[in-house]
Structure 1
Amino acid sequence: MGTGMGMGMGMGMGWMWLVGLLVLLGVVLLVVLAVRAVGGGITRGVGSGDATARPPARSRARELLDARYARGELSSDEYRERLQTLEEHA
């Protein structure tokens, strides 16, 4: 009776290291995801060679100005003048 119990424990313990490793990897993954979510992810500069680097975000005023110019509400001269004013105040 003692021998059968010992073999069963040995087989169960053999899988425990795998379960422990998977739990550890899961915790590490959760920590990495939490840090990236809170920190906004990793950002790289434009010259870093990363093809997926995002350009700096434009202001809402610049987006509106571009949209008005695209719709033809502003002439080229008006667009350039207002763009220069936005850049001076940024």
Structure 2
Amino acid sequence: MMYYDHGMNGWGYGLMMFGMLLVWALLIAAGVALFRYLARTQPHHAAPPPPPPAPAARERTDPEQLLAERLARGEIEPDEYRQRLDALRAGRPGPG
């Protein structure tokens, strides 16, 4: 019988195969862990923009402005606008 001191027998091949499977399993697990860590730290989508500020309460406007707005919206005719504007100006005291 011939004795070869540095040869690999059945146990050597088995341990080598187990070692390679262990190395690959560790590499794959490290890759999955890295992927999950990076996916968790980065947002998936941008945060929605903040809502616009609520409009401030409208101050009491000038009657002539209100009349002009009603004309612009089409609530009154131009003739009615002129009549009402004349009535507003006639009832208001002049400056100074």
Tell me the TM-score normalized by structure 2.
Answer: 0.36
Return the structure number with greater helix share.
Answer: 1
Q: Normalising to structure 1: TM-score of the pair?
A: 0.38
More RCO (CA 8 Å, sep 6+) = 2
